[in-house]
Every structure is written in C-alpha cells, then in structure tokens.
Amino acid sequence: MTFRKYLVLAGVTVFAAAGDSMLSHGMKQAGNVSLHHLQSLLLAVTNPWVALGILLLLAFFASYMNALSWADLTYVLPATSLGYVLLALVAKFALHEQVSPLRWLGIALISGGVSFVAGGPALTSHHEEPAKDILADSPTPSASSPNTAHAASVGVKR
Amino acid sequence: MRHVYTWSGILIVVIFSVIGDILMARAMKQVGDVHEWFRRSGLWTVVGRILSNSNFFLAVSAMAVAFFSLLFSLSWGDVSLVAPAAASLTFIGNAFAAKIFLHEKVDRRRWIAALLVAGGVALLAG
C-alpha cells in the first residue's frame, strides 16, 4: 500500500459522505419529486447543492473504481462505510446536532470493523498477475488451487 | 401486506446492489491496476480499457436498477427501516458473494469486519 492508494481510499470515504449530504440538502430545498411529475426532477438538478452533490458522487465513483482495480471488494467496502462515521462527526461538531448513545455505538462498531480489515492484505483474489507483466493484456483466470501464500505476499507488497 | 412489500423491496435492492458491486469489482480487476496503466500509457488508455469492458456496463445497469428499486421501496416503507436494512444486508451479501464469485479470501478477520460494519450501519441510520 502506497500513500497514493490511501489517498484514493480517503477519497472514496470523503466524496461519498459529502456527495450524499449535499444531495440530500439540495433535494430538501427542491421539494417532493413524484413519478407523475418527472419534470420536477430536471428542475432539481439546477439546484446548486444537487449539482455539486452529483459532481461529488461522480468523484466518489471514480475513486471507488480506482480502488477496486487494485484491492478486494471486501477490503474497499468497509472504507466506504467510514463515510457514515464522518457524517455523524460532522453532525456533532460542525452542525452541533445531538448524537445519541446508540449512534456512538454504531460509530464504534464501524470503526472497529474497518480497523480489522485495514490490518490485513488488500488483495487476495487471483484475477490478475502481479504488476510486472501488466502489459500482457490477458487477465489470468483464477486458479483452481489458489496459492494463498503467493496471494498474501502480493497483497502485502501492494 | 405492507410489510411484505417493504421487505421484498429491500431484498430486491440488496440483490441488485450486490450484483452491481461484484460485477464492478470483477470489471476493475480485468481492467487492471489503473495507477499502473495511467503511469505507463496515460489517462485515455485507462478510460478505453474501462469502456471496452462489458462487465462495467452490466455493473452500472445493476446499480441503476438497485438505485431505482431503492426509490420505490422508500415510497412503500419508512426511510429509517429501508435505508439501514438495505445498506447493512448489502455488506453481508457482498462478503458472501465476493467469496463465491470473486474468490476473495474472506478470512475470519473480514467476516468479523463485515458483521461489525453491518451492525454499525444499522445502528447509525436507525
């Protein structure tokens, strides 16, 4: 894991949380959207908060795909959930909202789960060979007898 | 009856989210490490490799279906039930599916993490 890859994971977390909250803020300003008035959905996009939220969610998607190109799904997903923790902390310390004890427990559980995964290797699957022959443009099919020691060393190296 | 609608809505959201995530993970593994590709051949090679991958488009379609079923489920059930239930069940579903379809080595460490995160998300959004 390089510093740049940690930055990508941080991007996944921050962009998802910021995008979701801006979208929700903007949609509350834009009012109700029903299936019978789909044109109101187009109007909603002109709301600056909604537009900014969509941009941030696109950035989230780009960093999510980036992360999935070098890490397992079960490694990346807990990172996205850190966004919930971030939102609760912003609500508490920037917006001075009340955060109930049950929510603090939720924050603790998510943080614990993320630290569990972060300690292990990022990549354990066998969909590609290590970076040295990356230009050989043919994804190796996963072996029927996975060499786990090899996989773990690849994960650690990255 | 309303319960049945709500929970089948949640189930559909979870199934399509998991399909979307699994296909996207597979697509990006086929594309290869984008840092590596970017460094060697530039941005357009990365974009081209992604856009020529059929799993990528299947993944985006599945995610779109998941998104719209979430919107429908939200109109049937409470946000405080639908959103956290869908999010946390998706975590568990993804752990199973990643092990089966992506051959990821989901060891005890990752199982515990999936359960903790799913529980935490349910508590936070509840």
Choice among A3-7, A13-17, A30-34, B32-36 with the minimum mean pLDDT = A30-34
Choice among A45-49, A57-61, A75-79, A122-126 with the minimum mean pLDDT = A122-126
Q: Is the Cβ of A88 closer than 8 Å to some Cβ of chain B?
A: yes
**Cβ pair B95, B18 in contact under 8 A:** no
**Cβ pair A5, A70 in contact under 8 A:** yes
- DSSP string of A134-157, one letter each residue: GGG--PPPPPSS--HHHHHHHHHH
- Alpha-carbon span B8 to B27, nearest angstrom: 28
Of the candidates A102, A111, A151, the beta carbon closest to that of B123 is on A102
Q: Is the Cβ of A60 closer than 8 Å to some Cβ of chain B?
A: no
Residue of B nearest to A145 (CA): B103
Choice among A22-36, A120-134, A139-153, B38-52 with the minimum mean pLDDT = A139-153
What is the ipTM, given to two decimal places? 0.85
**Cβ pair B120, A108 in contact under 8 A:** yes
Residue A152 corresponds to which tokens in the numbers above?
A: 């773990």
- DSSP string of A76-109, one letter each residue: HHHHHHHHHHHHHHHHHHTS-----HHHHHHHHH
Counting every residue written for chain B, the total comes to 126
Residues 107-136 of chain A with CB under 8 A from chain B are 107-114, 116-117, 119-120, 124-128, 131, 134-135
- Alpha-carbon span B65 to A127, nearest angstrom: 26
Spatial CB neighbours of A73, under 8 Å, sequence gap ≥ 6: B21, B22, B25, B94, B98, B102, B104
The answer on pLDDT for A80 being more than 70 is yes
Note the pLDDT tens digit of each residue in B56-97. Answer: 999 999 999 998 888 888 777 777 788 888 888 998 999 999
Residues 22-51 of chain B with CB under 8 A from chain A are 22, 24-26, 28-37, 40, 50
Note the pLDDT tens digit of each residue in A83-141. Answer: 888 888 887 887 777 888 888 898 889 888 888 877 778 888 654 444 444 444 444 44
Spatial CB neighbours of A31, under 8 Å, sequence gap ≥ 6: A40
Task: Work out the percent of chain A whose per-residue pLDDT is above 70.
Answer: 73
Residue of A nearest to B20 (CA): A73
Residue A49 corresponds to which tokens in the numbers above?
A: 């908060």
Note the pLDDT tens digit of each residue in B93-120. Answer: 999 999 999 998 888 888 888 899 889 8
Q: What is the pTM of this model?
A: 0.77
pLDDT for residue A135: 45
DSSP state of A38: T
DSSP state of B106: -
pLDDT for residue A126: 57
